[in-house]
Copies of this chain bind each other. A is one copy, B any other.
Amino acid sequence: MKFTEQLAAAWQKNNSLLCVGLDPDPAKFPAHLKEQPDAIFRFCAEIADATADLACAFKPQIAYFAARRAEDQLEALIAHIHDRHPGVPVILDAKRGDIGSTAEQYAIEAFERYQADAVTVNPYMGRDSVEPWLAYKDKGVILLCRTSNPGGSDLQFQKVGAGDTALYELVAQMVARDWNPEGKYTGQLGLVVGATFPGEIARVRQIVGDLPLLVPGIGAQGGDIEATVTAGKTATGSGLMINSSRAILYAGKGEDYAAAARQVALQTRDAINRWR
């Protein structure tokens, strides 16, 4: 099954556009977990178990695992999600980007080692740096387009060419058209567009048709849910993976942190659904 078909099934089954970001920071873990050798796995797995029926995807951020030599816990976590919650795809947030022969190695890392269903990729090195990822026909490749951080504008908001096109718009055009000749990779491609810029989400939606958009930046980063959904939804009221990480993960500080996470995930899912 193509990644976007898997995603569409999760949108429908869980009535949710919420992507739960798994950025595990042990300094913020509840006290009872801190001394456990597999605390990172346990923390994330409990969050996943508590929110799987409310989410359209999970998005572990690999840096949080790699900084702590916890690659084995990331493998175990993704296997756990696939085993317990089939139908909720896992997006490995890795933002890799390299020339073809090296991109092949990164694709092995993401898709074969970690068994991720999709991965985030940086477009700066161009089309041939993306193609090795697209060779995996059932996997998703979600290209950075417009990012939600302050410095995102440094490059992405530059006007390119003779007209009034910003670089992020060009990336959207390239991904939707030039890098997808004759729709060959339809069902595999997506874009990252930050929630802090609703006008730009709307512009990207206009360019890319129904391509799925991964939208970080609600919650801790301040993006507004109404504006995000209104700007980014497709005609059928979907097309979005709206990510929330810290607001869900660290909703509670005690042993009931997973229940607290579920409450925030439920509220966030429903807040999103009000504007679909």
Interchain nearest-CB distance for A136 vs B (Å): 13
* Interface presence of A174 (CB below 8 A): yes
User: A183 on the interface (CB 8 Å rule)?
Assistant: no
By the criterion CB–CB under 8 Å, are B95 and A126 in contact? no
Q: How far is the CB of A146 from chain B (nearest CB, A)?
A: 10
CA of A63 to CA of B66, assembled, Å: 13
A128 at the interface (CB under 8 A from B): yes
Which residues of A in the span 105-132 have a Cβ within 8 Å of any Cβ on B? 105-106, 108-109, 112-113, 122-130
A123 contact set on B, CB distance < 8 A: 124, 154-155
Residue with the greatest number of chain B CB neighbours at <10 A, chosen from A124, A128, A154: A124
A129 touches B113 (CB 8 A): no
Question: In chain A, residues 122-159, which have Cβ atoms closer than 8 Å to a Cβ of chain B?
Answer: 122-130, 144, 147-156, 158-159
Copies in the complex: 2
Docked Cα-Cα span, A126 to B109, in Å, equals 26
Which residues in B have their C-beta under 8 angstroms from that of A156? 124, 126
Number of residues from A at the complex interface, CB < 8 A: 52
CA distance A141 to B127 in the complex (A): 25
Comparing A9-17, A31-39, A96-104, the segment that makes contact with chain B is A96-104
Smallest CB–CB gap between A219 and chain B, Å?
13
What are the residues of chain B within 8 A of A154 when measuring CB–CB? 123, 126-127, 174, 178
Q: Is the CB of A124 within 8 A of B126?
A: no
Q: How far is the CA of A122 from the CA of B98 in the complex (A)?
A: 10
In whole angstroms, what is the CA distance A63 to B149 when docked? 26
Residues of B within 8 A of A266 (CB): none
Complex alpha-carbon distance, A156 and B170, angstroms: 12
Q: Which 6 A-B pairs have the closest CB atoms?
A: A126-B151, A126-B154, A63-B105, A128-B151, A67-B108, A127-B151
